[in-house]
Amino acid sequence: MFEHKMYDWSGIMKLPLYKNNLGKKTSDDSQPSSVPHPSKRKGAIFEIENTIDIQFNYSYVFSHLVPSLLVSWLPMLIILFIVNHTLNHQIEVQKSEVALLKVEVNLLNLEVLLLRNQVSSLNATVKKEINQLSSDGDPPDVYSVIRAKRETTQEISNGFKGIASSERKLPNGNAGRRGKQPSKRHNSVLAQWRRLKRRCLSFNSTKSSGFQAIHLKGAHPEAVVEAGHVGPWFVDTKAVKDSRLSSSFQLREDGESVEVESSGLYFIYAQVYYLTSHALNSFTIKLAPKDTDNSITLAYCSGNTVSTSSTSEVSCFTAAMHTLQVGDRIYVQQREKNRRLIMRSGHSFLGLVRFGNQ
């Protein structure tokens, strides 16, 4: 029998004590029975004579043994947690270092490509000048060209040496253990990358080429204009992907006009898309010179609806050629009041193309 007490986690087990009642006579027996030899007995009869109580106490296990195990394992668990946290931090630092090294390698490759392009361009220029001078028959200039070529070659060689020196200074795999140094180097690499990118963008542009272009589309899907400026506009980067071509233009008056920063001959075009039931819908391309307040109309465009009983879609496109000066502004003027315009991409747009210097 086992008794369990919930309040003190203890128990009592009772063990029985047996005795042998073999050979005991009863009152009903008339004849003495023959008792077989003990070795020939097939079974024996026993009865419980007494019990032994054994008491168990479980409170010691929970009050002493379990806390001692926890106290002995707690330092090991803390050490494992610290080691895991440190390893994760080191892995993140190493990942950032690898990404930074990839950026630096790409930077060096770009510098090598730039220097190769410069060498090819200089070789072509030198050959052209030598051919021209040889045809003109002027030997002293040929020597000056050769001397200039040597100086240029020396400069390019110094550039390659600088690249090799920068490559030797690349950090090793242990660089991530040096505190805040990766972030500082990361900023310097980004600054160097931007400078080199600007150099690469301006390398292929020639001084004699004055070609510039900008294409604008509506900033809002729809607009209602009351005989004022059509807009606002913003640059359509998908149409003119090279940002250098749009660098000589600035949006003014909350994006409703375009200011040119280079003088020259410009091709100006515009389209306005109407959703209206009015019969007459028209606009003009206006020029606002820098030094005067009087606007000049460069082009007119008018579109008529077929029926005024229902809403119709009407588009009108026009273009003009004009010489513009630095500071001149171009904008689109709606002539009628309360016209609903569709300003989505491909519906309404404004653009300028500069062909060359004045």
Neighbouring residues of 154: CB distance < 8 A, sequence distance ≥ 6 = none
pTM of this structure: 0.44
Nearest to 357 by CA among 209, 204, 203, 247: 209
Contacts 24+ apart (CB under 8 A), 86-95: 90/176, 90/177, 93/176, 93/177, 93/182, 94/173, 94/176
pLDDT of residue 5: 44
Would you write out the chain's pLDDT as a tens digit for each of its 358 residues? 444 444 445 556 666 666 665 555 555 555 555 555 544 545 555 566 677 666 655 555 566 666 777 777 888 888 999 999 999 999 988 988 888 888 888 888 888 888 887 787 777 777 766 666 555 554 444 455 555 556 656 655 565 555 555 545 544 444 444 444 455 655 665 666 666 656 555 544 444 455 788 999 888 888 888 778 898 898 888 888 776 677 789 888 888 899 998 888 999 999 999 988 877 889 999 999 988 888 999 999 998 876 666 788 889 999 999 999 999 999 999 998 888 898 888 899 999 999 866 5
CA distance 358 to 336: 35
pLDDT of residue 226: 76
pLDDT of residue 12: 64
Phi and psi at 161, nearest 5°, equal -65, -40
Q: With left for phi above 0 and alpha for psi between -120 and 50, is residue 144 left, alpha or beta?
A: alpha
In which order are the strands placed within the sheet that holds 46-57?
2-5, 10-20, 46-57
The residue assigned the tokens 């506009």 is 233
pLDDT of residue 21: 59
Q: If residue 182 lies in a helix (H) or strand (E), which one and from where to where?
A: helix 181-203
pLDDT of residue 208: 41
pLDDT of residue 328: 94
